[in-house]
Structure 1
Amino acid sequence: MRTKLGALALATAALAVGVHTQPDRAQAASENVVVDSLSVSAAPGGQLKATATVHSAKTVKVQALTVAVRSAQNRNYDFPGATATTLGTRPTTYASGSRVFPAGTYDYFVAYKLRGNWHRLSPVKSFTSGTPSAPTPTATPTSPASTPTPTAAPTSPASTPTPTAAPTSPASTSTGTPTQTASPTPTPTPTPTSTSGTTPSAPTTGAMPVGIAGTWRQVFSDEFNGTSLDGSKWHPNWFGCSTCVTKPINSAEGSAYSPSQVSVSDGSLRLKLIEKPTTVDGKTYPYLSGMVNSNGKAQFTYGAFEARIYTPSIGTKMANWPSFWTDGQNWPEDGEMDILEGLGGSACYHFHSTAGGPGGCAPGTYSGGWHTFGAEWEQGSVTYYYDGKQVGRITTGITSAPMYLILNNGINPSHSGTNAAPADMVVDYVRVWQH
């Protein structure tokens, strides 16, 4: 859904491993660099690694970006892999190398070096090493980029999707401006049937992906059984502060995204679209809606991805632009996998990369009730499943970089025949499996 949103240039000149920073003596930073997320997770061999997402109010090239660590005795135990990079208004994700820590409790924080001086950023978090308990931060399940053992490939013929005019699903990426996929000619506008407030209940599906053969282990799941969004797994908007209203992902969208439009109750995630003119960065959008993304919290390479969703509808057509998709850090180089996009009333799928954006739309009706949308991403191919049935397969331009999860209730004002507001997109669960 993304399509060419201006990219972040990452100058990845690696510095010496295990650099001991001295941000404790840092000068006051004037670049307004902000930490969006910071976590520590387990690595093989009893090691730990750190992941951070950072952005800046203006473009700035830093000599080094790292996650610094201090023991209770204030000794340096920084994560290896300090990197020179360029920070900008879109988040940059930093992943450290791994290391073993002596038993004890440690503080850790993001630090960067600019013009020879180290700057220490908030927040300062802590973890404990050498005990059975896991680190305080939530682990970021970054799946390995190695080629998984392929499962039995579907025998149905690979669909030959006709590339659409780049209906790039809200491809969240740090590069490029989402292109809008050409959708079918809209039919006359029926009286919009608002789905706001409608949350049909039905038991969730099983613990294995629906219709996707093979042996799987679950590596991510959110059943939305709480009373609020799980902040260890999701951000409630596009890129920005946790409480900010952010602009659309794709230039064809007509809604800004606000945490106020995201809620969790009765075992479901609800993304609410309303008609409310909202101004972000000097531009006014006619609608306000909800979205979540797992950037900096959970990302994966290959696997089975699935969500059970109740989409808004007008008659037998899917209303608006509801989407379930994944995106990499550098778009389109890292790829974008659109598992579901409601386009012109139909349920569609695509895969965007530097090779293009092939895809197609599934026959039948996927509105007016709960439906399961899934995809199996393997080396060299992505196979799409709706309600457990294969609806398409793409074998060109498939990338292998890690991608994070996105769900958003978008709208394209130009698709007047299939738009409705208020309208909710409701999600029963999101799950990811790997071999």
Structure 2
Amino acid sequence: MRTKLGALAVATAALAGGVLTQTDQAEAATPDVVVDSLSVVSAPNGQSKATATVHGVKTIKLQALTVAVRSADGANRDFPGAVATTLGTRSTTFTSGSRAFPAGTYTYYVAYKFHDHWHSLSPVKSFTAGAGTGTATPAPTASAPSGTATPTPSTPAPTATASTPGSAVPSSAPSSSAPSSTGAAPVGIPGTWHPVFADEFNGGALDASKWNANWFGCPTCVTRPPNSAEGSAYSPSQVTVGDGSLHLKLAQQPTTVGGKTYPYVSGLVTSNGKAQFTYGAFEARIYTPSSGSQMANWPSFWADGQNWPTDGELDVLEGLGGSACYHFHSPAGGPGGCASGTYSGGWHTFGADWKQGSVTYYYDGKQVGQITSGITSAPMYLILNNAVNPSHSGTNVAPADMQVDYVRVWQH
């Protein structure tokens, strides 16, 4: 969620996952750099090189600009020729130095250094070097939606660490909405599971043993958003539980936090410091705001690690441009996609099966996508928020209530 729009400031820490210590780092002044085109070409001698056309949203002086390359095992094989440069609003073409690659498949993307921090950009593409030739055959992979920034080049994600599951187990289904599943297993996700966390939101208030009602602030504070592209501050007053559901309410109400005024105020919950998990099935049953047949605003159900992007960010659901989308952000990139069909105007289940080396996404019990590159293994906590991007006026609706019937996590 944090990396979706614009090049997000990645200070020495985290993204939506440890997320930027968070608010302060997410708000740090990081310039937007846009990739207009990116390709790899090969020469008869087996040497390959990359060409990228980029521009800045304003004049930006970069410490370095390069095309980063990662092999299938995560090894760094960047193209040579990183340069210091100043970008303007007109496109500039960067051509790397040449190198030969061992036979195999590689991912590549534009990366730049600014204020001593590396940042990487969409799209993330791939090419295959032919056996014994080093010849590159470009083959674009799934890339994030237009305008989405992917995480900063960094060291490989850490090895698996023990999870810290929550203590709650599923209880009865909500009474005010259509019946939910029994909670014995995730909807449509195969395997043998046991529950490690659940909130059915059947009480009259948010369970403070499981959730925080804002983004990395004191329990009663209004906080800034995780992503600098968002137009809403987050207030505990916009988070309520009733009628068997969690309500995250967005209102068009100018709200000032840290000297910045946001046009909206909304609701967010996170389990950071209370429950986090390594691997498992994550599922939520959600009623998202709608704009006609499209999903309105930027509703999200996601998980994040403590050190972004190294620990990763798992986006189970993001409402982007009216569609229901999914991504996985890590130092290797931010691949993802959007599901076909309509997932607004009613209750829908959004789930993900995170295992070593892959995340498979299920909407209403049907597989809609799978990501097998850059999957991290550090613990992640849960986040749900009813965000809004003011620049996407076509699908923004306020007031709007994102409702959550339940959130559940299972492990093998």
TM-score by length of 2: 0.61
Q: Report the equivalent of 1:255.
A: 232
1:204 to 2:208 alignment: no
Displacement after TM superposition at 1:9 (Å): 5.8
- In 2, Cα distance between the equivalents of 1:420 and 1:383? 30
Question: 2:280 is matched with which residue?
Answer: 303
Q: Which residue of the partner structure matches residue 2 of structure 1?
A: 2
C-alpha offsets along residues 70-108 of structure 1, whole Å, 9 cap, x if unaligned? xxxxxxxxxxxxxxxxxxxxxxxxxxxxxxxxxxxxxxx
Offset, 1:205:
1.3
- Report how far residue 217 of structure 1 moved: 0.3
> Contact 1:262/1:270 (CA < 8 Å) preserved in 2?
yes
Residue 265 of structure 1 deviates from its aligned partner by 0.6
The aligned residue for residue 318 of structure 1 is 295
CA shift digits 1:408-430 (9 cap, x unpaired): 00000011110000001000000
Within 5 Å, give how 1:379-418 maps onto structure 2. 379-418=356-395
- 1:78-93 equivalences under 5 Å are none
**Partner Cα distance (2:193, 2:13) in 1:** 36
1:161 aligned residue: 142
What is the correspondence of 1:164-183 to structure 2 with a 5 Å cutoff? 164-165=145-146, 167=148
Which structure 2 segments of 5+ residues have no match? 15-20, 25-139, 155-174
Displacement of 1:204: 1.2
Give the whole-Å Cα distance in 2 for the aligned partners of 1:200 and 1:253: 31
Q: 1:224, 1:267 within 8 Å by CA — same for their partners in 2?
A: yes
Task: Give 1:168 deviation, angstroms.
Answer: 6.6
Q: Any conservation in 2 of the 1:338–1:350 contact (CA below 8 Å)?
A: yes
Equivalent AA in structure 1 for residue 363 of structure 2: Y
Q: Distance in 2 between matches of 1:302 and 1:358?
A: 18
Deviations 1:271-310 (A, max 9, x none): 0000000000000000000000000100000000000000
Segments of 4+ moved more than 3 angstroms: 4-10, 165-169
Give me the whole-angstrom Cα distance separating, in 1, the residues matched to 2:149 and 2:245: 26
Aligned to 2:315: 338
For 2:394, what is the secondary structure of its paired residue? helix
Alignment RMSD (CA, Å): 2.6
Distance 1:429 1:229 in 2: 12
Pairwise CA distance, 1:163: 2.9
Q: Given that residues 346 and 361 in structure 1 are in contact (C-alpha distance below 8 angstroms), is that contact kept between their aligned partners in structure 2?
A: yes
Find the residue that maps to 2:237 and give its secondary structure: helix
Summarize deviations over 1:201-253 as a string: whole Å, max 9, x none.
21111221000000000000000011000000000000010000001110110
Q: Distance in 1 between matches of 2:149 and 2:281?
A: 21
How many Å separate the matches in 1 of 2:286 and 2:147?
24
Q: C-alpha separation between the residues in 1 aligned to 2:148 and 2:359?
A: 18
Unaligned runs of 5+ in 1: 11-53, 58-158, 176-198
8 Å CA contact 1:308, 1:372 repeated in 2: yes
- CA apart distance, 1:2: 1.1
Give the paired residue count.
265
Deviation track 1:244-269 (CA, whole Å, cap 9, x = no partner) reads 00011101100000000000011100
Aligned counterparts of 2:346 and 2:356: Cα–Cα separation in 1: 33
Tell me how far apart the structure 2 counterparts of residues 167 and 256 of structure 1 sit (CA, whole Å): 21
Check conservation: 1:356, 1:397, Cα contact below 8 A: yes
- Residues in 1 aligned to 2:217 and 2:333: alpha-carbon distance in whole angstroms: 28
CA distance in 2, matches of 1:355, 1:409: 27
- For residue 316 of structure 1, what is the amino acid of its counterpart? S
Distance 1:359 1:166, change over 3 A: farther
- Taking structure 1 as the reference length, what is the TM-score of the superposition? 0.58
The letter of the residue matching 1:203 is P
